[in-house]
Structure 1
């Protein structure tokens, strides 16, 4: 039996409608981890869908728990020979809230619906279809070869959409159990729908609040205008000192000293395109001298997520006593996260804004991760994907968004190769989440080829 036969098996399985039926069954389970009433549903997804699917492939399954997590984790492994390479897989079965009332007529978050060449349903993009593709790809290799030819370990969690509580501690406590050569997982979007993509880490993310508390209560703007400070104006000027009018960060400690040559080479042919539904890229915004791909995948960005002063809903003729902004820094490997807020404090003081208070939010800070795009495992994966798809994959040193990838790189010591099966316009986390089935079909072929090659004896592990 051959590689091409395994891929043909994958395509036939998809075209038969069998994969669609499996995915429809999983989408129908409302695994909203942000909804406190869904605890039993989260566990049910592992027990009724994940465990039977892994056990059918000869995996040994065990349920793992941690006090920080609202739902258990499922760990599955198939060890064929300790001398073989071991690949670690990861996925999450929880989804963001369904937002049922906001979907288009005829669509539901809990029903896979095919319409206008797209599959709709909550979890189609994030993450049920993505881990379902990878699991089915392994099943295709087993059916064709009779064995994987490598060792496989897989972890499914049910709390990713609430910050993965307990995942870090679980991995700390199970380093030996989770030991592997490489992580291969799928989440996030491709660079473009039609171009296979590999990303090797993620940008970090830190949210914080800026606040000015000037006084108790508002005061009439006619009687006091020009006599007392306006926190809304002061905070606007403070924020404006952080970035230029074109979005360039003005705090040196917040950006890398340089863009590594290997990152530049990897991004040289990467064109950022959100598709027909995405916004138009504004070339004048952000760090000057960088391409759009370098700005989002190789550099840092500062955003104001929300801003409030006075009463926006019913403005009155009063100078507000308070102004508040929720801000965010997305950052790459290089800058020191421990110095982000101290550096901001120093900057605001130098600029004459000692009245601005800085406070980290309760949201977990994601750390930046990136492995070398020229690593042997990366080049092996890229060659496999290119052979299957007939396309040159985009290699992103890191995702523009954030994932708890440092758990895998820093705690488990794994190289991380992410092969996404989504695209930027998928409406992830919004109503009408969807994917083109052709993207999933190609993803299934790619992963079947990748897992076939993993067991063919020519990986960096065995060379």
Structure 2
């Protein structure tokens, strides 16, 4: 079989219906990590679907308990061909969010994969079962084509990504030798848009900033006390606007990176965001000035108000509330530290006259990224040259990328097979058949090239 025939066979996996049938079986397992029944389904999915898929690839398979009791087990498949060959680590997550049964269009069942034109509806079709099926299928095609992979393979599946990956960092730290590799190639999250193959190298971090203005236990009549008593809602609004102004511009230096590296700027120079029909149109004049939309989204920090509350906005009374609260979220790139952030915000607010605002941080996860000029990045770009590939230094959302870069010390290459409008986490989640077809070709090309030239990159 020639390389051309190999890629034709990859396309045929989708066109013949074989890929759909395999994904339909995966979707039928309601692997919801937030429910007891879902955790039973997770165990069955590992035992009945993923373990056999890895065994077919010649892997030795082992299930490990989670060091965090709030998380589910880990599954690791290992195939060793030669210590002289490079080692690839792949990753996927078996769990999904709640199915939202009864809320899908056309009375679709979330656990039944349903085709409507080029859209394949089902919970997990895009996040993450369809994506790890692309990689499993591509590896299988390369093994059948070459008789060997030409590299060593390790495949890690976790079962709690949708609840924050509890225990993943500890598991990686405890099993560094087991997971040791030369590079991570994985698939999760969306590509830039439906039409653009994408390689991203990391993820922005995130932290919630909780603001609380608790001035008094009671509310007082606005006619009798207005103008005399400090209003916590007004105070909170002023405090927020001193952190991020009415045009989305962050006002606190400690909440921003020191610079935008030139390699990042170059990688994002031709990237166009919100390029899919139906996407909202970015608002002109919003966010950090002097940066392109791609730079603001993938190379910079943003501070957004997630929730703001005082009294009852649906049934207001003529009274000054006693308390107001807000939750903000900072999405941040590497170079931003959480150490001392609470104190920096408090100091800034005090300087603006808002020392009565209590500040706390919660629900944080770190930022991490592989340098754009890393040899493995350049290798992947060369393999996929001519495909219209976009390279994003950081994914806009959150992924446990830091586990692989910071704990395992790996360069990370994420090749996603979904798109921003796939509705993952919502009713009507779907995978686009053209992306599945193209993604399978891209992944097959990458794994085939790794078997031929990976040792030169290492």
Query: Is the deviation greater in 339-348 or in 294-303?
Result: 339-348
Rounded Cα–Cα distance in structure 1 between residues aligned with 2:336 and 2:232:
31
Please give the per-residue CA displacement for 1:146-176, whole angstroms capped at 9, x wherever unaligned: 1111001010011000000110100000001
Aligned to 1:413: 409
- How far the C-alpha of 1:460 sits from its partner, in A, is 4.1
- Tell me if the contact between 1:453 and 1:459 (Cα under 8 Å) persists in the aligned partners: no
Rounded Cα–Cα distance in structure 2 between residues aligned with 1:34 and 1:451:
34
Aligned to 1:318: 319
SS of the equivalent of 1:96 reads coil
Rounded Cα–Cα distance in structure 2 between residues aligned with 1:195 and 1:212:
45
- Tell me if the contact between 2:67 and 2:171 (Cα under 8 Å) persists in the aligned partners: no
- How far the C-alpha of 1:106 sits from its partner, in A, is 3.1
- Runs of 4+ more than 6 Å apart: none
Aligned to 2:25: 25
The equivalences for 1:293-442 within 5 A come to 293-361=294-362, 363=363, 365-386=364-385, 390-442=386-438
Rounded Cα–Cα distance in structure 2 between residues aligned with 1:459 and 1:350:
57
The equivalences for 1:165-176 within 5 A come to 165-176=166-177
- How far the C-alpha of 1:461 sits from its partner, in A, is 3.4
SS of the equivalent of 1:176 reads helix
Rounded Cα–Cα distance in structure 2 between residues aligned with 1:322 and 1:179:
51
Please give the per-residue CA displacement for 1:66-101, whole angstroms capped at 9, x wherever unaligned: 231432110001111111000100000111111112
Aligned to 1:53: 53
Aligned to 2:193: 192
Rounded Cα–Cα distance in structure 2 between residues aligned with 1:200 and 1:460:
21
Unaligned runs of 5+ in 1: none
- Tell me if the contact between 1:90 and 1:185 (Cα under 8 Å) persists in the aligned partners: yes
- How far the C-alpha of 1:137 sits from its partner, in A, is 0.3
SS of the equivalent of 2:436 reads helix
Aligned to 1:40: 40
SS of the equivalent of 2:457 reads coil
- Tell me if the contact between 1:380 and 1:460 (Cα under 8 Å) persists in the aligned partners: no
Unaligned runs of 5+ in 2: none
TM-score when normalising by structure 2: 0.97
Rounded Cα–Cα distance in structure 2 between residues aligned with 1:308 and 1:36:
33
Query: Is the deviation greater in 324-333 or in 102-111?
Result: 102-111
SS of the equivalent of 2:280 reads coil
- How far the C-alpha of 1:350 sits from its partner, in A, is 0.6
Rounded Cα–Cα distance in structure 2 between residues aligned with 1:172 and 1:257:
30
Query: Is the deviation greater in 107-116 or in 169-178?
Result: 107-116
- Tell me if the contact between 2:309 and 2:324 (Cα under 8 Å) persists in the aligned partners: yes
Rounded Cα–Cα distance in structure 1 between residues aligned with 2:251 and 2:243:
5
Rounded Cα–Cα distance in structure 2 between residues aligned with 1:155 and 1:98:
24
TM-score when normalising by structure 1: 0.96
SS of the equivalent of 1:70 reads coil
- How far the C-alpha of 1:36 sits from its partner, in A, is 3.7
Kindly indicate whether residue 457 of structure 2 is the aligned counterpart of residue 455 of structure 1: no
Aligned to 1:139: 140
- How far the C-alpha of 1:296 sits from its partner, in A, is 0.5
The equivalences for 1:152-163 within 5 A come to 152-163=153-164
- How far the C-alpha of 1:366 sits from its partner, in A, is 1.3
Rounded Cα–Cα distance in structure 2 between residues aligned with 1:294 and 1:23:
35
Aligned to 2:8: 8
- How far the C-alpha of 1:192 sits from its partner, in A, is 1.4
Rounded Cα–Cα distance in structure 1 between residues aligned with 2:278 and 2:37:
34
- How far the C-alpha of 1:313 sits from its partner, in A, is 3.2
The equivalences for 1:51-130 within 5 A come to 51-68=51-68, 69-130=70-131
SS of the equivalent of 1:345 reads helix
Rounded Cα–Cα distance in structure 2 between residues aligned with 1:292 and 1:21:
39
Rounded Cα–Cα distance in structure 2 between residues aligned with 1:417 and 1:52:
26
- How far the C-alpha of 1:144 sits from its partner, in A, is 1.0
Query: Is the deviation greater in 112-121 or in 79-88?
Result: 112-121
- How far the C-alpha of 1:234 sits from its partner, in A, is 0.6
Rounded Cα–Cα distance in structure 1 between residues aligned with 2:453 and 2:400:
31
Rounded Cα–Cα distance in structure 1 between residues aligned with 2:236 and 2:188:
37
Aligned to 1:239: 240
- How far the C-alpha of 1:218 sits from its partner, in A, is 1.4
SS of the equivalent of 2:102 reads helix
- Tell me if the contact between 1:193 and 1:424 (Cα under 8 Å) persists in the aligned partners: yes
Query: Is the deviation greater in 329-338 or in 102-111?
Result: 102-111
Please give the per-residue CA displacement for 1:318-338, whole angstroms capped at 9, x wherever unaligned: 211110111100011112221
- Tell me if the contact between 1:10 and 1:137 (Cα under 8 Å) persists in the aligned partners: yes
Query: Is the deviation greater in 152-161 or in 225-234?
Result: 225-234
Number of aligned residue pairs: 457
- How far the C-alpha of 1:16 sits from its partner, in A, is 1.2
- How far the C-alpha of 1:446 sits from its partner, in A, is 0.6
- How far the C-alpha of 1:379 sits from its partner, in A, is 1.1
